[in-house]
Amino acid sequence: MKKDYLRVFDFTKDEFLFLIKRAKELKEGKDSSKSPLIGKSIGMIFEKPSTRTRVSFEVAIYQLGGYPVYLSPRELQLSRGETIKDTAMVLSRYLSAVVIRTFSHRIIEEFAKWSNLPVINALTDTHHPCQAMADMLTIFEKKGKLEGIKIAYIGDGNNVANSLIEASALTGANINIATPKGFEPLRESVDKAKNFTRVSLFSNPFEAVLDADVIYTDVWLSMGEENHIEKKSKFKNFQINSELLKKAKPDAIVMHCLPAHRGEEITDEVIDGPQSVVLDQAENRLHTSKAILEFLLAV
**pLDDT on residue 80:** 83
Residue 207 has a CB neighbour count (10 Å cut-off) of: 13
The region of weakest confidence among 21-35, 194-208, 274-288 is 21-35
Of 7, 105, 127, 128, which is the active-site residue?
Answer: 128
Domain residue limits at 111: 8-127+285-296
Residue 182 confidence (pLDDT) above 70:
yes
What percentage of the chain reaches a pLDDT higher than 70? 97
235 within some domain: yes
285 is catalytic: yes
Residues 6+ apart with CB under 8 A from 159: 123, 124, 125, 126, 127, 128, 222
Of 22, 54, 256, 285, which is the active-site residue?
Answer: 285
The pLDDT tens digits of the residues spanning 25-55 come to 999 998 766 789 999 999 999 999 899 999 9
Same domain, 269 and 291: no
187 is catalytic: no
Same domain, 115 and 194: no
Of 127, 257, 281, 287, which is the active-site residue?
Answer: 257
135 is catalytic: no
Same domain, 119 and 256: no
Same domain, 58 and 108: yes
77 is catalytic: no
The CA distance from 269 to 251, in Å, is 16
Over the Cα atoms of the chain, what is R_g? 19
Same domain, 148 and 112: no
**pLDDT on residue 33:** 65
Distance (Å) of CA 97 to CA 82, 168, 296? 20, 27, 9
Of 105, 218, 256, 281, which is the active-site residue?
Answer: 218
74 is catalytic: no
Same domain, 160 and 98: no
Same domain, 141 and 261: yes
Residue 7 confidence (pLDDT) above 90:
yes
The CA distance from 93 to 78, in Å, is 17
Of 125, 131, 135, 239, which is the active-site residue?
Answer: 131
130 is catalytic: no
**pLDDT on residue 73:** 81
92 within some domain: yes
The pLDDT tens digits of the residues spanning 68-100 come to 999 988 888 987 889 999 999 999 999 999 999
- 77, 105 Cβ separation under 8 angstroms: no
Q: How far is CA 15 from the centre of its chain?
A: 16
Q: What is the mean pLDDT of residues 110-115?
A: 98
Provide the number of structural domains found in the chain. Answer: 2
pTM score, whole prediction:
0.96
Q: At what angle do helices 84-91 and 105-114 cross, to 10 degrees?
A: 50
Q: How confident is the model at residue 127 (pLDDT cuts 50, 70, 90)?
A: very high
The pLDDT tens digits of the residues spanning 234-260 come to 999 999 999 999 999 999 999 999 999
Q: What integer best gives the mean pLDDT of the chain?
A: 95
Of 7, 22, 54, 101, which is the active-site residue?
Answer: 101
Q: Which residue has the higher pLDDT, 176 or 49?
A: 176
Same domain, 78 and 150: no
Same domain, 119 and 95: yes
Sign, CA torsion 183/5/288/193: positive
